[in-house]
Amino acid sequence: MDLDVLATPGHLISLAARGFARLSEARLKPLGFGVGQLPVLVALQDGRASTQRDLARFAKIEQPPMAQMLARMERDGLIQRAPDPTDGRSSRITLTEVAEARLPDAVAALLRGNHEALRDFTDEEAGLLIALLTRLIANLDRLVSVEASPGTPISEKGD
């Protein structure tokens, strides 16, 4: 079967992701946030992470880009750093009062955008889409970790 590469799930999901990113960026910018900062903001608010290493792991990005993002967020008054009392080499990162005050509006704007994007979907369809995307992401994470493993034979990489 000859499949049009522009009709593949990977391409279509990429287009949807870019559309969501543009919409989210437009709605977050007036609040002083960027769409890439959202995982950091949520992790700090919920207490899921408080160090640069934990935030990078949570957001699934490498340490250098996380360090750059945190530097910009600190410059913009969204986060603050304090020495980690248990590890003198590390800093604890927390949201500033400004970020905490704006975050509920940002989350509401993003949820509203998701709701609007799924306007013609039934609740069941929206739930199924979320479940399928969650499984797809888990599969991709597994594939990427296998591909990144040094010394993994090609036959184990899914080729």
Phi, psi (deg, nearest 5) at residue 151: 80, 5
The tokens for 141 are 């994470």
Residue 155 has pLDDT above 80, yes or no: no
Q: What is the mean pLDDT of the chain?
A: 90
pTM for this predicted structure: 0.78
pLDDT: which is higher, 148 or 37: 37
Residue 128 has pLDDT above 60, yes or no: yes
The pLDDT score that the predictor gives to residue 49 is 84
- Please state the rounded mean pLDDT for residues 36-55: 92
The pLDDT score that the predictor gives to residue 157 is 46
- Please state the rounded mean pLDDT for residues 46-51: 89
* Domains of the chain from N-terminus onward: 5-117 (1.10.10.10)
32 φ/ψ sector (left φ>0, alpha ψ -120 to 50, else beta): left
